[in-house]
Amino acid sequence: MVVIAFKNAYYIKLGRGGCWEADSIATARLRLGWPHQSLEDINAGRWDRIGKQLRKEKKGKPQVATTDINRLRDITQSTPDDVWITFHAAKLWWTRLAPGAVEGDTTSKYRRTQQAWKDTDANGRLLVVNDLPGKIAQLQGFRGTVCKVLEPELLKRVLNGSRSELASDIASQRALLCERLNHAIRELHWKDFETLVDLIFRDTGWVRVSVLGQHAKAYDLELREPITGDRYVVQVKSQATRSDLDLTVKSFSANDFRRVFFVVHSPSPDLANAKDLPSYVELVPPMRLSELAVDAGLSKWIEDKVS
């Protein structure tokens, strides 16, 4: 894996309301405004002349004009050692600028990028906005055109797909908690185990449409997704083998239910190591159930049951 490093990092809004985002990404360009400043002045670095023009444009707002000059200078003087980011289609995109002057076409002025805009990190994972740290995602709300990223080390972690020491420590503690809950779940009374399964699945937002253990011999729990109306069934077993699962699958009608979950307290080796399950069947062993219990905030409930 190539480590993504950079000297400076900048955020740019590609056009008013993002109107140049798609074109910039498709054509490997970084489009910029400043429509009244000439390419000759910009590329020659005639900042005094450009400053006078901008102060005239920004009547009574000298600070805004100064900011505009500085940001235009950031763009024109940026090297391939820098990284530029933007947001488009609910993802973060990043690139580097190629050496060369500012150019122009009928759309806008622009600089060519050294590489195609990318929406993935060094591991190939999509940089979806909702998965980003808030200090990076909040740049979408920046009102200007260009700003320096004030959390460069955080951005480096994002682009490299790495985690902070604090996040890694939390993940380790979470894994330890899941492991302890895995053992605790095996100690639960059978009825408590059934109740735990019921609580976990209802925490997802699904609506229970049958009472646990009633209505159908093959299933212990029937659920409905309230928006789509899809129906799901859950089979809960204290001990089970692969043949028990196969029997449940035979009782399952894909015409009536979207998916079946086979939750087992103590799976036999042939079930625990099963690799060829039907696509509509999901095996939920104790370790997976412990992860779901943590997500549902039920660790204290389990603690109380085994105390």
Strand order in the sheet with 231-240: 207-208, 221-224, 231-240, 259-267, 281-284
For the whole model, what pTM was predicted? 0.74
pLDDT at 215: 47
Query: What SS3 class is residue 221?
Result: strand
Q: How does pLDDT run across 231-283, given as a tens digit for each residue?
A: 888 888 888 899 888 888 777 766 677 888 899 988 899 888 888 888 888 89
Q: Each residue's pLDDT tens digit in the chain (307 positions)?
A: 679 999 999 999 999 999 999 999 999 999 999 999 999 999 999 999 999 999 988 887 888 889 999 999 999 999 999 999 999 999 999 999 999 999 999 999 999 999 999 999 999 999 999 999 999 999 999 988 999 999 999 999 999 999 888 989 999 999 999 999 999 998 998 889 988 998 998 888 888 876 555 544 556 788 888 888 888 888 888 888 998 888 887 777 666 778 888 999 888 998 888 888 888 888 998 899 999 999 999 999 999 999 8
- DSSP state letter for 206: P
CA separation for the pair 83, 94 (Å, rounded):
7
pLDDT at 254: 66
Are 30 and 117 a contacting pair, CB within 8 Å? Answer: no
Are 282 and 259 a contacting pair, CB within 8 Å? Answer: yes
pLDDT at 211: 58
Q: How does pLDDT run across 272-282, given as a tens digit for each residue?
A: 888 888 888 88
CB atoms within 10 A of CB 172: 10
Instruction: Tell me the domains of the chain and their CATH numbers.
Output: 9-160 (no CATH), 166-306 (3.40.1350.10)
- List all residues 6 or more positions away from 17 whose beta carbon is below 8 Å from its beta carbon: none
Q: Any idea how long the chain is?
A: 307
Nearest to 29 by CA among 102, 121, 133: 102
Are 177 and 299 a contacting pair, CB within 8 Å? Answer: yes
pLDDT at 219: 61
- List all residues 6 or more positions away from 289 whose beta carbon is below 8 Å from its beta carbon: 182, 185, 196, 197, 200, 263
- 3-state SS of the chain: helix, strand, coil percent to 5? 40, 20, 35
CB atoms within 10 A of CB 171: 11
- Locate 68 and state its tokens: 């505009």
CA separation for the pair 218, 248 (Å, rounded):
6
